[in-house]
Amino acid sequence: MGVIETSTKGHTMGTNTRRHEGRYRMGKRNEDGRTPLYIDGSKDPVDFIWSTGHGGRPWTTENTPDFHDRKWKAAERVVDMVDARRAAVERRPVPAAVPEGYRQASWEEIALSGIRRVMVPEETAYVDPAHDGTPDGGPRFVTRWSDPVRLVDVTWLSRVAHHRAEYGDFMNVNMITAGGFRSTHWPEGDHAIALGALVPVDTPLLTVSPSFCAECGADSALYAAGQRVACGPCTARRLGWEIESLPHPHFESPKALYAPGTLVEMRVPRGDGGTDIHTGTVKEWHVRLDGTSTKPIGYEAANVRVSFDVSRYGADNCRASELRKIDALAPKSTEDATMTTISSTASRPDMIRLRFLGSTL
């Protein structure tokens, strides 16, 4: 073994030994002085070696940036480059196909429609969170989808600003798999959020039509699947699904689910007939997806946490339907005005306070 050459360009790939002898062949030098180089039996030249004719390292090629003291070292360097490129192609992850009968859906759609039967990303192409969104980060895609699971709840948390810049948001999804309960955190939440999940294209949707099931006459919530509208049990039976896998939306206003970072306002009626307008920033949304229309769960099932400019509590749980998206926060109030709005917020009877869901680190 010879000493590894350190080129002026900083490359560390060794070209001081004949490691690739037998893999390349130099052809007849052209009239213009360039020597075609064939690699691994290629029919066409992979590169051309030529000499600058001066200095201690005159030899280079058209496609490599380095200069060498010997012609064969230029050829060795080309083989190194070919091998590196080939290895990069082999390492490159391949997007997983979307199975027939499924389509990609965003977490917002899943949460708002109460969709529970999904396939979640099991493996994804690596995206450096610190370079998120830049060419260094690489494209986002799923390399392996899970088997179908049943969602229990979905939480999307924003982080404090300096962590957010580095890692993005945080997402937590709890689900029932064939192997039992599973809790999945996506610390690089932007990635998970962008990829969403797969949902069956024939996912039935809960309707609001107050009617009887055409198939069994039951007086209960109806699901629309394709052209058919039927009650939960009839729909589940026809699709071959467990009834707990049918969608069960909890958001009372299925139009609004505000991503963390969204600026919102909430109007709160005052005792004197006036209205306080609070503005703030959405910090988190959380939605439970368990329960059925005949067995509703008995606790707060969906909420949006908002950090209001007047809040003493960091963030308050709000109903999405009470919020409205705005373009800018209200200017900071005077001390007197702040006192007034705090008291009206604190005395509000339907303002529910829950423990903070997870860490914002």
Least distance from Zn ion to the Cβ atom of residue 252, Å = 25
Q: Are strands 47-51 and 35-39 parallel, antiparallel or unpaired?
A: antiparallel
Q: Is 192 in the site for Zn ion (CB under 5 A)?
A: no
Least distance from Zn ion to the Cβ atom of residue 249, Å = 19
Helix, strand, or coil (residue 27):
coil
Q: Is 218 in the site for Zn ion (CB under 5 A)?
A: yes
Looking up tokens 């869901």 gives: 357
Q: Is 225 in the site for Zn ion (CB under 5 A)?
A: no
Q: Is 198 in the site for Zn ion (CB under 5 A)?
A: no
Q: Is 216 in the site for Zn ion (CB under 5 A)?
A: yes
Least distance from Zn ion to the Cβ atom of residue 279, Å = 46
Q: Is 237 in the site for Zn ion (CB under 5 A)?
A: no
The single residue among 120, 171, 195, 213 that binds Zn ion, judged by CB under 5 A, is 213
Q: How far is it, in rounded angstroms, from Cα 186 to Cα 188?
A: 5
Binding region for Zn ion (CB under 5 A) out of 24-32, 100-108, 227-235, 331-339? 227-235
CA separation (Å) from 15 to 1, 34, 63, 82, 83?
11, 20, 16, 14, 14
The single residue among 231, 301, 310, 320 that binds Zn ion, judged by CB under 5 A, is 231
Binding region for Zn ion (CB under 5 A) out of 108-116, 179-187, 234-242, 315-323? 234-242
Q: How far is it, in rounded angstroms, from Cα 22 to Cα 314?
A: 69
Q: Is 154 in the site for Zn ion (CB under 5 A)?
A: no
| Site size toward Zn ion, by CB under 5 A | 7
Give me the long-range contacts of 191-195 (CB less than 8 A, separation at least 24).
Answer: 191/124, 191/127, 191/129, 191/132, 191/140, 192/107, 192/121, 193/107, 193/156, 193/168, 193/169, 194/140, 195/121, 195/124, 195/140, 195/141, 195/142
Binding residues for Zn ion restricted to 90-149, rule: CB under 5 A = none
Q: Which residues bind Zn ion (CB under 5 A)?
A: 213, 215-216, 218, 230-231, 234
